Structure 1
Amino acid sequence: MKIAELDGIRLHYREDGDPGGVPVVFGNSLGTDLRLWDQVLPLLPAGFRYIRYDKRGHGLSQCTKPPYPMGTLVRDAEMLIDHLERTGVIFVGLSIGGLIAQGLAAKRPELLRGIVLSNTGAKIGTREMWDERIAGVEAGGIEALADATMQRWFSETFRQTPPFLAWRNMLVRQPQDGYVGCSAAIAGTDFYTTTAAITLPALGIAGSEDGSTPPDLVRETVDLIAGSKFKLIRGAGHLPCVEKPEEYAAILSEFLHEVRG
């Protein structure tokens, strides 16, 4: 396990692949840790340096007191990339990870060579919706929202399989402060204007059964970026890298090769 000692935060991260390869940084969704990508990593091409990290308040990273501004989460990713002395990064962000990707692309485009916006939007939900969820967690813990969240995250077919329980456990075992902090970050974020100014190569990925960030939201967001591409994974929900890892890896691998040049 590796811990990056950054300015005001300790982030847990892991590196796989070719140490000298093009860096690919993965940003996870709300309520998950870097294991989100476990099934995809072995299917990705050689010649890349794959870097996963637990965002603030999740997994083995430090959990600070909520709320978190989205700018703080973007800065965490920025500091980690600088700490690892990387440039020309391809940033793969899922859900809130996709918001971080958009924020980073707007703030530090020189760090990046491309972004993947997976199951995300320039704005996700409303402040009122997120305030209600935060209140629910503060009153009854993450467990209080777990069943409704699982219905939005996964297709009905996947919810009947044994691995489903592990993902529910991952959600409810995340630090409550981290979940609340990141929920507040999503609530306060609207990137429509800044994302429309991004000029980096971009790929949008959506799941047809996604109840959190429906395909139309993902397509609308990625269409803000000139020259972007969009892919739909049928039969998958909010975490297609979990439900359809082979298809997800194939789509991602094609983009990695295109952007590497």
Structure 2
Amino acid sequence: MPYAAVNDTQLFYRVDGAENTNAPWLVLSNSLGSDVSMWTPQLVEFSKHFRVLRYDTRGHGHSAAPKGPYTIEQLTGDVIGLLDHLGIARAHFCGVSMGGLTGVGLGARFASRIDRLVLCNTAAKIGSPQVWEPRAAKARNEGMLALADAVLPRWFTAEFMERNPLVIAQARDVFVHTDKDGYAANCDALNAADLRGEAASIQAPTLVISGTHDLAATPAQGRELAESVQGGRYVELNASHISNVELTDEFNKVVLNFLLESK
């Protein structure tokens, strides 16, 4: 399996698409409690146009889970380190939830490395200490299984969960096997990160996607984020928090239309 030694951390990554072409790069960043597999619904369509780079955020999937707490500086630095490792000068970036917040940081702090940004089901400030501190403590003390029944229903609408038991089983399997300390350390990063003062400095063309039924990163927060970025655009999908899985076709169409349009 491919790994990159980045910031004293082993990051797992995958590359799909035309690796030996001059197609532009697209980086995909996972949500809290998931891994590279959350992007499976996008791979066929996205890899027709891009060299697609997925990675497991530190503390997730096959990546290492170094001792926390983590910071947004580490999460953004990991992406830049991975780009450097692979010799990628510039890339598009698309992230969901925690991955979207990482994208805000990248756009604000590493403008020379980012072409276009897609920030999904996210905000410049996600949640509060009242959310993150007890969740991190529960993960550390009781394990991921103790959180699954509360978290998964916030990812998808009830109707989607009822119609797609296999998708939910797969998401749950990834969630419960996420390193509990790595998960908690990422909760710490989200708790401390407030990029509301930095979003206005993003120069890359930016699309914000929200889910109508998302309680974790609400449409109001998505609109606020889009409005804070000069020229930012906003699209709302009839989904909950993991919109790329719940409304795959619509998500793929919206993202590709944005990434492929002429500048």
Q: Give TM class, smaller chain.
A: over 0.9
Choose which of 214, 227, 232 in structure 2 pairs with 1:228.
Answer: 232
Per-residue Cα deviation, 1:158-199 (whole angstroms, up to 9, x for no partner): 221222122112111101011001100000010011111112
Residues 126 and 190, structure 2, Cα contact 8 Å, conserved in 1:
yes
TM-fit CA distance, 1:90: 0.6
Closer/same/farther in 2, CA of residues 45 and 76 from structure 1, 3 Å limit: closer
Question: Taking every aligned residue pair, what percent have the same amino acid on both sides?
Answer: 35
**Which amino acid in structure 1 is aligned with residue 203 of structure 2?**
T
The whole-number CA distance in structure 1 between the counterparts of 2:27 and 2:11 is 13
The whole-number CA distance in structure 1 between the counterparts of 2:256 and 2:30 is 18
User: Where has structure 1 moved over 4 Å in runs of 4 or more?
Assistant: none
Aligned counterpart, 1:246: 249
The whole-number CA distance in structure 2 between the counterparts of 1:54 and 1:137 is 19
Residue aligned with 2:213, SS: coil
Residue aligned with 1:221, SS: helix
Deviates more, 1:44-53 or 1:57-66: 44-53
The whole-number CA distance in structure 2 between the counterparts of 1:51 and 1:44 is 10
Residue aligned with 2:189, SS: helix
TM-score, structure 2 length as denominator?
A: 0.95
Within-5 A mapping of 1:110-259: 110-160=112-162, 161-162=164-165, 163-234=167-238, 236-258=239-261
Residues 108 and 203, structure 2, Cα contact 8 Å, conserved in 1:
no
**Which amino acid in structure 2 is aligned with residue 99 of structure 1?**
L
TM-fit CA distance, 1:45: 6.0
The whole-number CA distance in structure 2 between the counterparts of 1:145 and 1:93 is 23
**Which amino acid in structure 1 is aligned with residue 58 of structure 2?**
R
Aligned counterpart, 2:30: 28
TM-fit CA distance, 1:210: 1.3
Closer/same/farther in 2, CA of residues 170 and 45 from structure 1, 3 Å limit: closer
Residue aligned with 1:128, SS: helix
Aligned counterpart, 1:109: 111
Alignment gaps of 5+ in structure 1: none
Residue aligned with 1:47, SS: coil
Aligned residues: 259
TM-score, structure 1 length as denominator?
A: 0.96
Alignment gaps of 5+ in structure 2: none
**Which amino acid in structure 2 is aligned with residue 14 of structure 1?**
R
Residues 151 and 211, structure 1, Cα contact 8 Å, conserved in 2:
no
Residue aligned with 2:172, SS: helix
Residues 97 and 217, structure 2, Cα contact 8 Å, conserved in 1:
yes
The whole-number CA distance in structure 2 between the counterparts of 1:223 and 1:137 is 34
Residues 152 and 237, structure 1, Cα contact 8 Å, conserved in 2:
yes
Residues 7 and 77, structure 2, Cα contact 8 Å, conserved in 1:
no
The answer on 1:12 being equivalent to 2:12 is yes
**Which amino acid in structure 1 is aligned with residue 233 of structure 2?**
K
Residue aligned with 1:193, SS: coil
**Which amino acid in structure 1 is aligned with residue 213 of structure 2?**
E
**Which amino acid in structure 1 is aligned with residue 71 of structure 2?**
P
TM-fit CA distance, 1:223: 1.3
TM-fit CA distance, 1:220: 0.9
The answer on 1:62 being equivalent to 2:58 is no
The whole-number CA distance in structure 2 between the counterparts of 1:241 and 1:47 is 18
The whole-number CA distance in structure 2 between the counterparts of 1:44 and 1:125 is 30
TM-fit CA distance, 1:104: 1.3
The whole-number CA distance in structure 2 between the counterparts of 1:55 and 1:224 is 26
**Which amino acid in structure 2 is aligned with residue 71 of structure 1?**
E
Query: CA RMSD for the aligned pairs?
Result: 1.3
Per-residue Cα deviation, 1:105-155 (whole angstroms, up to 9, x for no partner): 122110011111100000001123211111222221122221111121110
Aligned counterpart, 1:86: 88
Residues 117 and 222, structure 1, Cα contact 8 Å, conserved in 2:
no
The whole-number CA distance in structure 1 between the counterparts of 2:145 and 2:68 is 19
